[in-house]
Every structure is written in structure tokens, then in C-alpha cells.
Chains A and B, each alone.
Chain A
Amino acid sequence: MAKGMFVDTSICTGCKACQVACKEWNGLPGEPSHFHKVPNRPYPVAFNFTGNSYDNTGQLSATDWRHVRFIEQFNENRTEGRWFFSSDSCKHCTDAGCLNACPVKAIVRTDMGNVFVQQDVCIGCKYCIPSCPYGVINFSEKTGTVHKCTLCNDRIHNGLGTACAKACPTGSISFGEVSELKKKADARLSQLKGLGFTKANIYGYDEAGGLNVFYLFMDNPTVYGQPLNPIVPQRRLFKSAAITVVTAIAVAVAALISFRERGMKKETEK
């Protein structure tokens, strides 16, 4: 029953709709560190220009649960060139370092396989932060707790897909049953190989015990900033935790909205 996402980076246009859709659904504000005070201006102004291609948000944070990477590679005379885009988020690892590390069982896996931080249980000890090989989980000074992608826990438990997958204009992000998504990924991979893209590969079938959010890359995963052999620390340390009980109240992050009859079927399992 594990739900997950398949991110086909070969059709990502780097539009960042996923980043905004995530914030919209989950009620996340602009990342505070991106804004500063300016003289004679009653509101903070963004100043986070990086000069790193079109990537100005830089990394995942407690308020940025999605982040699109931009990889520009051209040779000097521009006979070879490419611009890759890859939308990154929590991978909801089968062997989840953050979950393993949490001393109070604030981080749990739900029946749908997503790894979820219970905000009312989290004590803000930050053990989980170094335990994530992907830098996904982050601490918020405002709430005193850690935050990351929930796989839209409220949506998926109500028959909807994730907000990012729903918004993605090109279908680069798809949500669904992991086993079904793997079929889709394999088919796309063989199509691309057939077209001569021999370096295309799937990332996430084996890493960290298998990632529920996995990727199709056009080149080595390191080109996209993903580790080849992610190390999951403190493995099995808390395995005895077995079954964790979660309250549904905690599950509602900033749960909003519903969906509609006609849209329902299409939106589901997108």
C-alpha cells in the first residue's frame, strides 16, 4: 500500500510550480531568511539572489519542502550543452534515518508509507537532522520543531495525490502506488535508452532500503546532487519501536480544503 512519487527529471522544465503548490497547500510562508528589512519599506524584501542559475532558494528548509535544482553544463565552445532541472524533496526512505534517530517517536511512518513528523510530539532535539543523508529535515526557530515534506499526509489519506504532483505542468512528478510508479519509471527508462540516452538511470530502487520518492536522471545522480550510496545512520537503533500510534489531530499540518466530485477521479492516483 506504499504511496510515493516518481520524479522524471527528463521532462522537468524547472518552473517551480511544485515549490509553490507545496507552500499553498501546506500553508507555508516565504522562507524568513530570504527576506530582509529595507529602509523606508514597511515590509521585508527578498534578497536571496544566488547567481546559481535560476536557483535562488538553494536548499530545502523548514518552510521549503521542495526545491528545484538547476544544473547548467556547457563546454567552452558550446558544442555540447545541457540544462537539467530536478525537483527535490523528502524521499520517504524505507530505511528512514530521521525516523530511526528520533528519540521520542515523533517521526512515524503512516499506513501509506510516508514518513511524518508529529508536530505535537517533536521536542526539537534535532537528532534527526544529521541522520538524514539528503538534508531534507530542518529545524524551525519559530515552532521549535523540525519540518519536512509529509507527502501531503492529509491529502493522501483523503484520496488525493500530493499537491506538487497535482500542480506539475509537465507530469514530471507523478504520485501513486510505488509498485505502479516503478512500472512507469521502467517504461520511461527503456524508452529513453532506446532513444540513445544510455546514461539515463533510476535513482531510489535500492538506496536507503528503497525510496518511496524516486527519480529518473539523465546522468549520474551526483550530477543532480544526490549521493550515490546514501548512508543512513543509527540504523535499527529504535527498531523496537514497532508500531507507533499517531493522533489524527497531529497529522493535520495546516490541512485545508477538499476536492470535488468531477475532479476526484482524475486527481486521484495522478
Chain B
Amino acid sequence: MIMGSNMAECHPVAFRWPLKAKTEHGAVLMHVDPRYTRTSAMCDIHAPIRAGTDILFLGAIINHVINSKRWNTDPFFKEYVVNYTNAAMLVNPDYQDTEDHDGLFSGMSKDGKSYSYDTWAYQRGPKPAPAVAEAKTFTDLLLQHVPGRPKTDPTLKNPHTVFQIVKKHYRRYTPEMVEKVCGCSKETFLKVAETLLNNSGRDKTSNITYAVGWTQHTVGVQIIRLAGVLQALLGNIGRPGGGILALRGHATIQGSTDIATLYHSLPGYINMPDARKNHETLKDFILTEAGPVATSYWGNYPKFAVSYFKAQWGDAATKENDYGYDYHPKITDDHSHLPMFVHMMEGQIRGFFVMGQNPAIGGQNARFQRKALAKLDWMVVRDFYETETSVFWKNSPEITSGELKTADIKTEVFFLPAAMVAEMEGSFTNTQRLLQQHEKAADPPGDCRSDIWFTYHLGRRLKKLYANSPNDHDWPIQNLLWEYDPEPSEVANFRIKDEPSAYKVLKEINGYTWADKKPLPTFAVLKEDGSTVSGAWIYTGVIPAEGVNKARSRQGDEWISPNWGFAWPANRHIMYNRASADLQGKPWSEKKKLVFWDPSKEVKTPDGKVSHGSWVSPAGEGIDFLPTKAPNFRGKDNGIGFDWLSGNDPYIMKSDGKAWLFAPAGTVDGPLPAHYEPYESPTPNLVYKQQSNPLAKTWFVEGNPYHKVADPKYPIVISTYRVTEHHLSGTMSRWLPWLAELMPELFCELSPELAAEKGIKNAEYMTIETARGEIQARALVTRRMRPFTINGKVIHEIGIPWHWGWQARAEGDVVNNLSVLVADPNVTIHEGKVFTGNVRAGKRGGAL
């Protein structure tokens, strides 16, 4: 099932594989999407739903599945769900569901701005006697705070079990409700639900694939979570052919998340020190962040965190100074993309590095973002072509319209030309967590330089500028470990001799022993005493030994291809793959065999002992479990990490070892996904009194007006998206004649019904308007777009690909002039997939 993704359009080569499954193995492909797209055209079933109603649709599948005969009679589902998910956990009896609470969960604060998680928590047994009396190390500290085990009812009958809560929560999510709210016929919905159910089980698995069609919502995180709930209930996770595939959009967008250049995260999913939390000292930081999750593999958090700080400052990071923790910046608020521009507009941000991004087009409410750029003192742009962002001062729509004057814009702007991928050495992490090395084929032309060249040489200059500073707060720059000069052999064949060594950087990311600089083969050997360095623990193993880079492995095979690239963590391609075997460790079926327990296998443990029995994978898959932990192993109640986890706890990153149907913590807007309307919606919420996500992030600032619910001025639903022929804001596609001519101009897709109503003719110009802006586009009138009947009322949807701008060989208005700053409360992702507006025939006029 492809939902929230237009896979054939945006990931055409990945779509090779589902299509192969269809033609060679009879797989059924389903596409759930408001539009009939190039993906729908290739699928067996297309289920059209109104944009922003995904949770209702998925919730209804769950309701259908758990009340179906097959799910209640086939023992597979029971075995998987009772043992591998948190279905049997007992939740605090004070928990109140949206069903009892007009669409809110229990725990909402008085100001309505946040939930307290207390009532969502598990019921637990008594706290165990600590394994250590005195905390000498961070690990000891965690050992002193192990909570009691969650209470369970494996019969799933207790009304406080997660299972009964889930069942009750989705009971009104019926096929009739789907028809009424999503606008998808009952029959089509049931076809999708039945197909998923019938293709899941011991012998079969179903996959769900999504992309930004799911993320770009004020309930984005909850949509994806619900897919996880559904797949866990169907026993489809940790097994070949199952799971949830996130199709990400950029060459190493996964790498940018793993090795985060994101405000909230340090590399390896270590949280960023935060002055709003109890993060005063390294000890506080570790206890706050690792304490609640120490019974999972995150029990090793202190080792990962200390190795990160050690990588930051090397010799200067000592036990005495908490490995430099005090010198590390702390966040104090949400500093992500949208608030960044709000604060830029307010004048808080003075200098700006923008590299490989084009917010003048790609940013939500792009007019707002462009105007914010004009408030900067200086801006550095690094890119391949003259992006719209780099010339906002010269010829942006605001300059053309006279709203801003070039001479009044005091921003000092630098454009630094960048090297292309084939012109530099480095690694990318693809959407399946696979690191692949790209090698340098040639020097880039002129003054084009690689991205690390820029950062490395900027760092060198800054270190020089700060070298003699007496200020204590300059310590982090003075002591920054910054030694990436190339070996002569690395640059021998090239003109650019001061290119930093990508190998040395990756070696540091991988980690090495501080004393003798030997690369570490696995994160299992990281230490919390400062003797190891590791920039991002999850990547450990990519350089297992000096001179060996597994991202360069290039031996593929017919299946997992363990010797092609390196899949973090530890070359595991399918996460939680212990779940591919049953409770006894046997494969669920011969057909779906991946990782299983071989009782006869003898393994030497690091301490030299011989252990009998091991998890094995003939396909060469990395085992996402402790290889010697027997299926019947009972975890230690007062342990942390693998010691606490039992042999039937496949979800090793979860504090209870189980897949979470219900999230007792972690999602700020509720333990279960509930249908809320998009922030700008043409209809009241027909499921709950609560209209939209109560915690959605909003910015009530000048230049960012919102539309009302069912606003008569803006009755039409707008989705923005991409086409195959272009890439994002077009910097990498609109300058290329080969691509420009394939999709030359901005267009808007609309139904013949809407076109007739508004007098819009195919291929002629039309204007689209919101309270934020107005754009013109060529009309593409097609029955692939359809009006939806929602609760008896016709609702029109239009779709606009957003690649265009005023520069390059294919030009058009900036679609994001229409969109608005509003975001999901968990991750601050914008709601680009649904907002409202209006359309009319003809070109735009007047102000932009």
C-alpha cells in the first residue's frame, strides 16, 4: 500500500521493485491518494481520499482488522501481537480517551498548550533493588533508576490493556465514517482493508510506503505512527517484505538526520542539551535523557554521549570538565526552520549560512521568508546555480512589485559556487539507511569547492581568529578537534590540494580509540570514560579497520546485498529483525525466513567463553539483537540495556522491547493518533468536537494570516507536490534544458467540474489565491482530479507542483507564496499537503 507518496513520480527507480513484485510475483499494489497519479496508474487499486484524512482511513483499517474473523482466528496474529507489541501492557486507570473527552486525551494542561503524560503511563510492578549501591559511573547511575516492569494481561481482556484502549479508540472509525469524512466509497475502502489483511500473516507480509504526503501535516507524526500501529497489529514489522518504507527526497537526507544538522539533535539521535530541561550537568543530561529509556539498548547512552563530546574536543574533553559538556550550546526553544524565519523577520538573526537550500521558493509562506532575508546583515549562499534565494535582493517578486527596494536592502551577500557530487569524495546515506561512497572523478571547475572544503576552511580561519582569545566562552572553538588535512596521496591526482580528507572525517564519525587512534569495529565497544571517540555511534562499523571503508563495498546480490554499502546500524537492513522469527526463535514460515535461532551454533563471546546457540541469517543480514540471547532468556529486572530485555523483546530501542500500539510517552499530542482536521480545512471535524490538532504550532505574526475553518472566501483544498521531471525548488533541474523542456511551466491540476464552475480553460492561465499571496499558473484540467462529497457537501481539491521560481530555464510563480507557517507539534514540519484557497480564471493582477 502506497499512501502519502507518489512513488512512481518521485522515486521512479525505487518503484522498479514494487512493479517487479507485481509482474513477477503477483503482488497487489494499492495507492491511497487524493489524486490519480502516475503511481495510481500502475496500481491495482486506487482509493481516493480527501487530503488530510489519512488517520481516519488508517484507523478504520485497524478497526476492520481487529474485529475481523481472520485476525481473531489465525493464531499468528495473537502470537505476534501479544508477545512483540505492547498490546498486553496495562495503562494507568486514570487514562481517558478522546472518546470520553470530546477529542482530547487526559492530561491537557489548563492553558491547553501541552499534555502531561502521567495518565498515559504503564502500570508497573515494584521498583527492583538497584544492582549497584553506589554510582561511580554514568552506567551505575542508570542502574539505580530502573523502574519496575510494566504489568500485563496477556489475555488482552482487561479494559486497561493497550489493546482494549486501541479497540475502543477506533470503534467509530467505520467504513461509513470513511465515506463521510474521507469521501472514499465504502467498497473501495473495504477492498484496501481486506487486501492488507489477507496479505499479512505467517506466509505473507504487506508493506506500507509513504513519503512527505504523510509528514507535511499538523498531524504528520501521528499519521506515520498509526501506520506503525497497523503494521504491528498485522505482524508485518521486522520481517522481509513488511515494514514501513519512508521514501525520503534527497540524496543524503537520511544522513542529515542521522548526523543531524538539526537544532534538536546531536549525531546519532542523542538529544541536544536543552536549557528548558534538567540538563545542568552531563550527569543531569544523561539521567534526564537516558533514564526513561535505559532498559532498551539506549542503556548505552552514556557511552554514545561521552564519545560524541570526546570527538568534539579531544584531549581538552576530560572527566574533570564533564568532557566539555559545559561548553556545548544549549537550545532554549524551538529553533527549527519556521521559527528561524520568524525570528529573522524580528531581527534576532543577523548572519545566515544557506547551503544547498532555496528557502525563497521552498520555504512555506515564501513571501514571508524572502522578506525576512532582507533583514539580515549578511548571508552566505553555497550552491551550483544562481538560486532565487541568492538574488532575493535583485529581482524577487517583492522587488519587481516595488514592495522592497534593492538599495534599501543592506544585506551583504556572498555566493560561493559548490562542487558536484562526482567532483568530491564522500558518503551519502540513502532512504534505507544505506551508506554509499561517491568517489571524486574530477576537480570541480573554477572556484567551486566541496561542502566540507568550505566548512573545514571556515573552521580553520575561525580557530586562527580565536587562537589568542582570553575569553572562557571561546574555549569550544580554541579546543575544537579539527584535523582533517589530506594525506598527500588523497589529493595527488587533483588540482585542489587543500581538500580536507573525507576519510578522516568518516573515521571520526565511525569512532576510534583515543589513545592509539584505531578505528572501532562496532558501537558495542564504545566507552563512557573518554577512551573512545565517536562522532555518531550509529555509524560505527562503517570503518571497522584502518583503511577499510564499508561504504565503498560494491558487491551486490539478489536480495539483501550485505556487501553493497553499509546499512547502519551494524549492517542491519531490516530493523527489529528478531521479529522475523516466532517466540521460540523459529522462522514464521519457510517463505518468510530471515533471522532465526540456531540452538546448535557455538559462538565465542568476547570474554573467551563458548556460548551455545545463536541468532543466524543465511542471507547475510546483520542481526538486530544480541546474537547469543536465547529466545527463552528472561531479562534481569534490575538491569539496563540488553540485560533487561528478554529473548522475546525484538524492539530493542523501546524501553519495554515491544512495538508500541499505544505511546505512553514520546508524542506530545497524544498516545494514539486521532482524526483532527488540517489546520485550514473546508469542513468541521465530523469525528470529534476538537477541530484540529490542539497542539499544532502556529505563528500569529504579521504576514502570516490563517484562514478560518470552512472559510467561505477560501473553500478549495490545495495540495503542493512534485513531479518526476523536477527536483524540489528546481535548482538542480530547472537550469537543465533536458529537464526544463519536459515540464516547462508552472501548472495547476484541477477537475473539469471545478474548471467549469470557475470558467477556467485547459492550458490557459488561472490564478490561485490565499490570504498569504496570489500566483498564476497554467491550468491542467483533468479527471484525475476529483471533487469529494464530504458529509453531503462537494469539496474541490486542486494540486500544484511547487518547483518553479523566477530564475532558470523553466520559470513560474512561487507556489509557496500561498502556503502558511503552521506545523506539527512534535517535529515542527509544516502543513504543505493541505491548506485552503480559491481560484479564478486568468492571470493574477496587482500586488503579489
A and B touch in their complex, CB below 8 angstroms: yes
Give A contacts to B, CB under 8 Å: 11, 13-17, 19-20, 23-24, 29-31, 34-35, 38, 40, 43-51, 53-54, 56-57, 72, 74, 76, 78, 81-85, 169-171, 188, 191
B8, B42, B741: the one contacting A48 at CB < 8 Å is B741
Known: A72-B782, A169-B15. A46 touches B41 (CB 8 A): no
Return A20 CB to nearest CB of chain B, in Å. 5
Q: Are B19 and A49 in contact (CB under 8 A)?
A: no
Residues from chain B with a CB closer than 8 A to the CB of A53 are: 780, 782
Interchain CA distance A22-B747 in the complex, whole Å: 26
The 26 listed contacts between A and B (C-beta, < 8 Å) are A13-B12, A13-B38, A13-B39, A13-B42, A19-B738, A30-B737, A30-B740, A35-B740, A35-B809, A44-B809, A46-B745, A46-B810, A48-B744, A49-B763, A51-B762, A54-B743, A57-B742, A76-B783, A81-B783, A84-B41, A85-B41, A169-B16, A170-B16, A170-B19, A188-B23, A191-B23
Q: Are B744 and A13 in contact (CB under 8 A)?
A: no
Return A98 CB to nearest CB of chain B, in Å. 25
Known: A15-B12, A46-B809, A170-B19. A30 touches B745 (CB 8 A): no
**B723 in the interface, Cβ–Cβ < 8 Å?**
yes
Closest B residue to A46 by CB, please name it: B744
Residues from chain A with a CB closer than 8 A to the CB of B104 are: none
- Count of interface residues, chain B, beta-carbon cutoff 8 Å: 43
Residues from chain B with a CB closer than 8 A to the CB of A82 are: 41
A13, A29, A40, A57: the one contacting B8 at CB < 8 Å is A13
Interchain CA distance A45-B509 in the complex, whole Å: 44
Residues from chain A with a CB closer than 8 A to the CB of B781 are: 51
Return A117 CB to nearest CB of chain B, in Å. 22
A11, A14, A20, A49: the one contacting B744 at CB < 8 Å is A49
Interchain CA distance A47-B15 in the complex, whole Å: 30
**B153 in the interface, Cβ–Cβ < 8 Å?**
no
Residues from chain A with a CB closer than 8 A to the CB of B8 are: 13, 15
A38, A49, A74, A81: the one contacting B747 at CB < 8 Å is A49
Q: Are A46 and B16 in contact (CB under 8 A)?
A: no
Return A204 CB to nearest CB of chain B, in Å. 21
Q: Are B741 and A46 in contact (CB under 8 A)?
A: yes
Residues from chain A with a CB closer than 8 A to the CB of B40 are: 83
Q: Are B810 and A45 in contact (CB under 8 A)?
A: yes
Residues 766-807 of B contacting A (Cβ, < 8 Å): 778-784, 786
**B492 in the interface, Cβ–Cβ < 8 Å?**
no
7 nearest interchain CB pairs?
Answer: A51-B763, A30-B737, A46-B744, A74-B783, A83-B41, A34-B741, A49-B745
Residues from chain B with a CB closer than 8 A to the CB of A40 are: 395
**B811 in the interface, Cβ–Cβ < 8 Å?**
yes
**B274 in the interface, Cβ–Cβ < 8 Å?**
no
Residues 739-756 of B contacting A (Cβ, < 8 Å): 739-745, 747
Most buried by A among B38, B395, B739: B38
Known: A56-B744, A170-B16. A29 touches B810 (CB 8 A): no
Known: A51-B778, A51-B779, A85-B41. A74 touches B723 (CB 8 A): no
**B484 in the interface, Cβ–Cβ < 8 Å?**
no
Residues from chain A with a CB closer than 8 A to the CB of B326 are: none
Q: Are B784 and A30 in contact (CB under 8 A)?
A: no
Return A96 CB to nearest CB of chain B, in Å. 28
**B36 in the interface, Cβ–Cβ < 8 Å?**
yes
Interchain CA distance A45-B12 in the complex, whole Å: 26
Residues from chain B with a CB closer than 8 A to the CB of A23 are: 738
Residues from chain A with a CB closer than 8 A to the CB of B811 are: 38, 45
Closest B residue to A53 by CB, please name it: B782
Interchain CA distance A35-B745 in the complex, whole Å: 11
Residues from chain B with a CB closer than 8 A to the CB of A24 are: 738
Return A6 CB to nearest CB of chain B, in Å. 14
Return B270 CB to nearest CB of chain A, in Å. 37
Q: Are A45 and B809 in contact (CB under 8 A)?
A: yes
Known: A49-B778, A74-B783, A81-B36. A16 touches B742 (CB 8 A): yes
Known: A35-B809, A169-B16. A13 touches B41 (CB 8 A): yes
**B683 in the interface, Cβ–Cβ < 8 Å?**
no
Closest A residue to B779 by CB, please name it: A51
Most buried by A among B743, B762, B778: B743
**Contacts beyond the supplied A30-B738, A46-B740: 16 A-B pairs with Cβ under 8 Å:** A11-B23, A29-B737, A35-B741, A45-B810, A46-B810, A47-B744, A48-B741, A49-B763, A53-B782, A54-B743, A56-B744, A72-B782, A81-B36, A83-B40, A83-B41, A85-B38
Return B121 CB to nearest CB of chain A, in Å. 47
Residues from chain B with a CB closer than 8 A to the CB of A15 are: 8-9, 12, 38, 724
Q: Are B747 and A16 in contact (CB under 8 A)?
A: no
**B725 in the interface, Cβ–Cβ < 8 Å?**
yes
Interchain CA distance A46-B808 in the complex, whole Å: 9
Interchain CA distance A147-B202 in the complex, whole Å: 57
Residues from chain A with a CB closer than 8 A to the CB of B20 are: 171
**B13 in the interface, Cβ–Cβ < 8 Å?**
yes
Return A70 CB to nearest CB of chain B, in Å. 9
Most buried by B among A13, A44, A83: A13
Residues from chain A with a CB closer than 8 A to the CB of B809 are: 30, 35, 43-46
Residues from chain A with a CB closer than 8 A to the CB of B42 are: 11, 13
Q: Are B744 and A34 in contact (CB under 8 A)?
A: yes
Q: Are A74 and B16 in contact (CB under 8 A)?
A: no
Interchain CA distance A19-B747 in the complex, whole Å: 21
Interchain CA distance A44-B744 in the complex, whole Å: 12
Residues from chain B with a CB closer than 8 A to the CB of A83 are: 36, 38, 40-41, 784
Interchain CA distance A48-B741 in the complex, whole Å: 7
Closest B residue to A192 by CB, please name it: B23
Return A22 CB to nearest CB of chain B, in Å. 10
A31, A72, A171: the one contacting B741 at CB < 8 Å is A31
Residues 703-750 of B contacting A (Cβ, < 8 Å): 723-725, 737-745, 747
Q: Are A78 and B744 in contact (CB under 8 A)?
A: no
Closest A residue to B752 by CB, please name it: A76
Closest B residue to A31 by CB, please name it: B741
Interchain CA distance A72-B780 in the complex, whole Å: 12
Known: A14-B38, A170-B16. A50 touches B738 (CB 8 A): no
Residues from chain A with a CB closer than 8 A to the CB of B778 are: 49, 51
Residues from chain A with a CB closer than 8 A to the CB of B744 are: 34, 46-49, 56
Interchain CA distance A82-B15 in the complex, whole Å: 19
Interchain CA distance A47-B38 in the complex, whole Å: 23
Interchain CA distance A30-B740 in the complex, whole Å: 8
Residues from chain B with a CB closer than 8 A to the CB of A13 are: 8, 12, 15, 19, 38-39, 41-42
Residues from chain B with a CB closer than 8 A to the CB of A56 are: 741-744
Interchain CA distance A54-B762 in the complex, whole Å: 13
Residues from chain B with a CB closer than 8 A to the CB of A78 are: 783, 786
Residues from chain B with a CB closer than 8 A to the CB of A76 are: 783
Residues from chain B with a CB closer than 8 A to the CB of A50 are: 763
Known: A13-B41, A35-B737, A49-B778. A74 touches B12 (CB 8 A): no
Interchain CA distance A24-B736 in the complex, whole Å: 12
Residues from chain A with a CB closer than 8 A to the CB of B12 are: 13, 15, 17, 169-170
Residues from chain A with a CB closer than 8 A to the CB of B779 are: 51
Return A68 CB to nearest CB of chain B, in Å. 9
Interchain CA distance A24-B737 in the complex, whole Å: 11
Closest B residue to A75 by CB, please name it: B783
Known: A15-B8, A43-B809, A83-B41. A30 touches B16 (CB 8 A): no
- Chain B 805-845 near chain A by CB (<8 Å), digits 1 or 0: 00011110000000000000000000000000000000000
Known: A17-B12, A81-B36, A82-B41. A11 touches B19 (CB 8 A): yes
